[in-house]
Amino acid sequence: MSAPRDATATARGGGDAHGVRAWPAAALLSLSDKTGAAEFARALAAHGTRILASGGTAAHLGEAGIAVTTVEEWTASPEMLGGRVKTLHPNVHGPILARRSVASDMATLAAQGIGPIDLVAVTLYPFEERAGGLDESGAVDEIDIGGVALLRGAAKNYADVIVIHDPLQYGAVLAALEGGGTRLEQRREWALATFARTARYDAAIAAELARRATGDVETPEPPLVHALVLERARGLRYGENPHQSAALYTRAGDSRALQALREGKELSYNNLLDVEAAVLLAWRFWAPACVIVKHNQPCGVATAAHLRDAYEAALASDEQSAYGGIVAFNRPLDGETAHRLAQQFVECVAAPEFSSDAEAALASKKNLRLLRLAQEDVAASDSWEIRLAGRWALLQYEPKTPAPEWKTVTRRAPSDAEMEAMRFAWEVVAAARSNAIAIARGTALIGLGSGQTSRVDAVDVALMKARRAGHALEGAVLASDGFFPFADNIEHAAAAGIGAIVQPGGSMRDAEVIAACDRHGMAMVFTDRRVFRH
């Protein structure tokens, strides 16, 4: 067992009445990621800090010429179970958890012949990176136990102990120590970051074990536990309304932070909701596509052989609603399209890349935000979609298997052109709020009715918007995200000149609806899959 530290060492690790702590008398390092470890330990040792380290870390520091006390020497207890138990020992956790201001705690350490450990640096086994590619036994071996216990113990006692969970923190800790000592506020901040790290680590373990438990099936059972840890990525001006504070969070550990190519005015909560909707819809299409979103609804959507033509057609969908909207492209934005776009008032433009000509064309729009975003930058990485609803949370899973084959249910089958237009409209209506109706001509949206409380209202709104924008309805197609409960929807569409309809089917009045289509010579296709989006 190590001898107790002398009075000088104890004073060196102490602090003043304001919670400032000087250079640690003893520091414990147990590092899976040893980046910068030697330099950090050398800086501590240069100020008299005794360096303690677990096996692999001790060897690494020793090779760098740094004097190290191994954990085995400190505890007088060897590692057990092939290294599964190294730091789980009272003579490790006692010196970390001892309250410096409680005389009995310090007396207990003195009776054991050990002094406090004032700094703990741990980088955990890389479970998140490795476990997915290992068999179950290998994945379990990547679960860090001792490291998490060290971090939690040190974070709990942040009043007296510095805790580090990431090599990127070494510089800030050394700067604070060299500036006269760490403050209580700093140690609390590092403790908070540490608890977030251990929460993220446990969430990754729970998610991986849940994935293995459900197996590789088409539609897995919802997990008994779904752990979600979020980290603040950036602040926002405000929430949906100016009186609401807000921030943008990402799933913990997700490195795909939102980076604006240009952000004149800071992005808002509402902007980001619209950006997500616009980008994901744009990437539903293979051809060059443009999507314009306003208030989380698509008001302009089109595909074309050239990006400028797609933009022109999307703008023509509903130019009135497009004013001040969010525009997304699924191709790099070129100068010609950007020059045309610069003539409109838009809040944000998202594209996978921006040409130098495009940036120049938009340079005069000082408040316009340019976001370099592709589908993978926006789409959730988790297979389970989560929606918070008050005190509840809802999880749902989208199967990866192909959707059912569409089937014609009317006497007249749709033409090839109608079928192409219906497939386009189906993608649009699937991205709109239910009840939703999308009317398309070719691969351009010409009318959208969404968020309505009755389906016939959704039809009427879509028709109204198409007429308001001056679109010809004769021969257009219509897509519905849910089945038609009554034939009145068909009568309204037929009166406007709609030629073909795609819908899920499944109503108890399907026969009446089909008969109405047949009377008007319309084609109707069933998808056998509903695409509600509440």
What percent of the chain has a predicted confidence (pLDDT) above 70? 94
Asked if residue 347 and residue 447 are part of one domain, the reply reads: no
Confidence of residue 256 (pLDDT cuts 50, 70, 90): low
Q: Is residue 246 part of a domain?
A: no
Per-residue pLDDT at 517:
97
- Is 229 within the bounds of a domain? no
- Say yes or no: 420 and 517 in one domain: yes
Q: Are 102 and 176 found together in one domain?
A: yes
Per-residue pLDDT at 130 exceeds 80: no
Confidence of residue 84 (pLDDT cuts 50, 70, 90): confident
Say yes or no to pLDDT of 3 above 50. no
**What integer pLDDT is reported at residue 332 of this predicted model?**
96
Are 57 and 115 found together in one domain?
yes
Give the angle subtended at the CA of 122 by the CAs of 116 and 123, to the nearest 5°: 180
Residue numbers annotated as active site: 156, 295
Buried b (16+ CB within 10 A) or exposed e, 70-90: bbeebbebebeeeeeebbebe
Looking at residue 2, what is its pLDDT? 42
Quickly list H helices, 215-326: 269-282, 307-317, 319-322
Residue 323: inside a domain: yes
In the prediction, which pLDDT does 14 show?
Answer: 61
Residue 419 and residue 342 share a domain: no
What single letter denotes the amino acid at residue 462? Answer: A
Domain encompassing residue 275:
260-378
Paired with 328 in beta bridges are 291, 350
Over the stretch 455-481, which tens digit does the pLDDT of each residue have? 999 999 999 999 999 999 999 999 999
Where does a domain end: 187, 208, 229? 208
The packing angle between helices 488-496 and 455-468, to 10°, is: 10
Helix (H, G, I), strand (E, B) or coil at 17: coil
Same domain? For 154 and 51 the reply is yes
Domain count along the chain: 3
Compute the mean pLDDT over every residue in the chain, rounded to the nearest whole number.
88
- Of 108, 113, 196, 100, the residue nearest 157 (C-alpha): 100
Q: Is the pLDDT of residue 415 over 90?
A: yes
Whole-angstrom Cα distance, residue 125 to residue 201? 10
**Structure confidence at residue 217 (pLDDT):** 66
Which segment of 74-88, 122-136, 447-461, 476-490 scores lowest on mean pLDDT? 74-88
- DSSP H stretches of helix in 112-216: 127-130, 136-141, 146-156, 170-178, 184-214
User: Is residue 189 domain-resident?
Assistant: yes
Query: pTM to 2 decimals?
Result: 0.80
One domain, residues 350 and 458: no
Amino acid, res. 58: A
Q: Which of 378, 394, 416 is the last residue of a domain?
A: 378
* 421 or 16, higher pLDDT: 421
- Asked if the structure places residue 251 within a domain, the reply is no
Residue 362 sits in the same domain as residue 498: no
Residue 327 placed within a domain: yes
Distances (CA, A) of 534 to 274, 277, 281, 345, 477: 15, 13, 16, 29, 23
Distance CA 234, CA 239 (A): 13
Give the tokens for residue 374: 């592709």
Cβ atoms 508, 482 nearer than 8 A: no
- Domain with residue 38: its CATH number is 3.40.50.1380
Does residue 366 sit in the same domain as residue 416?
no
What is the rounded CA–CA span in Å between residue 271 and residue 251? 19
393 located within any domain? no
22 lies in the same domain as 154? yes
Listed residues 208, 228, 248: the one ending a domain: 208
Sign of the C-alpha dihedral, residues 293, 294, 299, 300? negative
Residue 389 lies in a domain: no
Above 70 in pLDDT, residue 215? no
Residue 317: partners with Cβ closer than 8 Å, 6 or more residues away: 292, 299, 300, 301, 302, 444, 445, 446, 447, 448, 469
Same domain as 304, residue 197: no
- The pLDDT of residue 335 is 95
Q: What is the pLDDT of residue 79?
A: 74
Residue 534: pLDDT over 70? yes
| CATH number of the domain within which 351 lies | 3.40.140.20
Q: Do residue 307 and residue 165 come from a single domain?
A: no
Each residue of 439-451: pLDDT tens digit? Answer: 999 999 999 999 9
